[in-house]
Structure 1
Amino acid sequence: MATNLAQLVLDGLKKRLDSNNQITVPKKGGKIYTAQFTFNPPATEELVIKFSRETHWHLPPDFKNFLLLHNGARLFENTKTGGGYELLSLYEIPDNHLDYMPKDCFSEYRETLQIGHNPVK
């Protein structure tokens, strides 16, 4: 029986979120902050196939499974200061792919597919 790791992880996370998709997160020194989670609607199987065919990029199975549940997400966004992490949607990946690659990076990293980033700068 195949296990959908993306589904298991998301189910576990969502059980910890309140009705507003928020969670209280402890920080160093006893401080806490409220983190917001935003999940996009799912991608269709057809969209995932079209993306791979048009870009010639291989999507790892777990990320494909995630996309079929949520075509992108924002995770651990601080409700007061922003930040957090973003898993890009299929619409955003092509526009962000090489923008995050250093100009002098090794050639093997050019084969890396950028699927997310930490928007905190």
Structure 2
Amino acid sequence: MVNVSSVVIDANDSDHLKIISNEWEVSDVSCSFNSPINMAEAEIFENENNIKLPEDYKTFLTLHNGARIYELLDDDGEKIGGGLHVFSLGEIKEVQEIDYLSEHGVGHLYC
């Protein structure tokens, strides 16, 4: 896991960064952001799911509908997970559906 108080020591024009953590480990990471949605889509999602999203999260969605921040890269530059995963509305809906099925007798596995 990458420590979020890391310092960026190299950034290029792509989404790849080289960072150094508080433990002096140098890691290659990636930051990627999804395309935005409009506020009306967030409000429709709230109404359909009978939930209220935090205002700052809805504002984030109008900039990026989800993101992967500081996702670790292997030596070949392939994404291998870790970092921070900010869910898109679609991913929230998927998790809700899985949890609903789980509560009603259909098992699932979190990896």
TM-score normalised by the shorter chain: which range applies?
Answer: 0.5 to 0.7
Tell me how many residue pairs correspond in the alignment.
Answer: 87
Q: Which structure 1 residue ranges, 5 or more long, are not aligned? A: 1-15, 104-120
Distance change >3 Å, CA 29–CA 60, structure 1 → 2: closer
State which drifts further: 62-71 or 44-53.
44-53
TM superposition shift of 1:82:
2.7
Match of 1:35 among 25, 29, 33: 29
In 1, Cα distance between equivalents of 2:66 and 2:42: 12
In 2, Cα distance between equivalents of 1:82 and 1:95: 19
In 1, Cα distance between equivalents of 2:63 and 2:37: 7
> Which letter does structure 1 place at the counterpart of 2:59?
N
TM superposition shift of 1:85:
1.8
**What is the root-mean-square deviation of aligned Cα atoms in Å?**
2.5
Structure of greater Rg: 2
Partner of residue 7, structure 2: none
Higher fraction of strand: 2
Matches within 5 A, 1:1-121: 18-27=12-21, 29-80=23-74, 81-97=80-96, 99=99
Moved over 4 A (4+): none
In 2, Cα distance between equivalents of 1:17 and 1:45: 32
Higher fraction of helix: 1
